[in-house]
């Protein structure tokens, strides 16, 4: 628009000068002094018209620049707001993902803790006396020994170690053939329970 105004400026000035010429021609008289004074007055008026036209052009151009500047500022503000909205959306997605991870982690921890608790409970709930009932025929009613060795004079750790080694298939002497299938049939909790039980018998 500024370029258009600049292109039209000569036209506007020409119109102003033409108006001045008309004023000069209509103001002439036979009296030279009057004509001179009138010409001077008309010239001043023409100059004033031209100056006013130039001022109007300048003001219009400045207003156009202001409008363009305001439009640019509005575009920049809109772009910044769009960036802020996108940033907030990204933050919300990240927060939601982190919360989901935390929930999953808490759930996994709860499952692990419950499994460990159930395992511990199962281990402590095994009745060592019931497990030993099938052993008494060889080791005696009070684990004092018989066909098999004495158990009540050993430590729980020693009895448990022997049973676990039989269970693993180690060769521990002439009783290995009999003890291996028995030990393999016991769970870890049962081995622990029976080992702790036999040392209480006297």
Residues 14-67 have pLDDT tens digits of: 555 555 554 445 544 445 555 667 667 767 777 777 777 778 778 877 887 787
What CATH number does the domain containing 144 carry?
A: 1.10.760.10
Do residues 55 and 93 both lie within one domain?
yes
- Report DSSP letters for 120-149, one per residue: HHHHHHS-HHHHHTTTHHHH-TTS--SSSP
The last residue of a domain, from among 120, 144, 166: 120
Q: Is the CB of residue 150 less than 8 Å from the CB of residue 174?
A: no
Which has the higher per-residue pLDDT, 177 or 116? Answer: 177
Q: Is the CB of residue 165 less than 8 Å from the CB of residue 158?
A: no
Residues 90-126 have pLDDT tens digits of: 888 888 888 888 887 887 887 777 666 566 555 568 9
**DSSP helix/strand/coil, 186:** coil
d(CA 92, CA 100): 12
Residues 6+ apart with CB under 8 A from 129: 197
Confidence of residue 76 (pLDDT cuts 50, 70, 90): confident
Do residues 81 and 32 both lie within one domain?
yes
Domain count, the chain: 2
Residue 144: which domain range? Answer: 127-198
Above 90 in pLDDT, residue 6? no
Task: Tell me what pLDDT residue 188 has.
Answer: 96
d(CA 81, CA 12): 44
Q: What is the mean pLDDT of residues 2-25?
A: 52
The last residue of a domain, from among 95, 120, 145: 120
């Amino acid at each position: 628009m500024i370029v258009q105004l600049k292109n039209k400026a000569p036209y506007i000035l020409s119109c102003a000068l033409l108006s001045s010429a008309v004023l000069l021609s209509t103001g002439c008289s036979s009296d030279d002094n009057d004509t001179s004074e009138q010409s001077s007055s008309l010239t001043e008026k023409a100059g004033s018209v031209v100056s006013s036209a130039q001022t109007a052009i300048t003001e219009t151009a400045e207003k156009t620049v202001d409008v363009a500047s305001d439009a640019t500022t509005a575009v920049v503000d809109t772009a910044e707001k769009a960036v802020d909205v996108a940033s907030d959306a990204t933050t919300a997605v990240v927060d939601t993902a982190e919360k989901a991870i935390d929930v999953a982690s808490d759930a996994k921890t709860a499952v692990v803790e419950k499994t460990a608790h159930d395992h511990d409970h199962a281990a402590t709930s095994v009745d060592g006396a019931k497990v030993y009932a099938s052993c008494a025929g060889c080791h005696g009613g009070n684990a004092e020994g018989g066909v098999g060795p004495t158990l009540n004079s050993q430590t729980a750790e020693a009895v448990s170690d022997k049973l676990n080694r039989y269970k693993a298939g180690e060769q521990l002497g002439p009783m290995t053939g009999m003890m291996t299938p028995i030990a393999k049939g016991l769970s870890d909790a049962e081995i622990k329970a029976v080992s702790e039980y036999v040392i209480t018998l006297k």
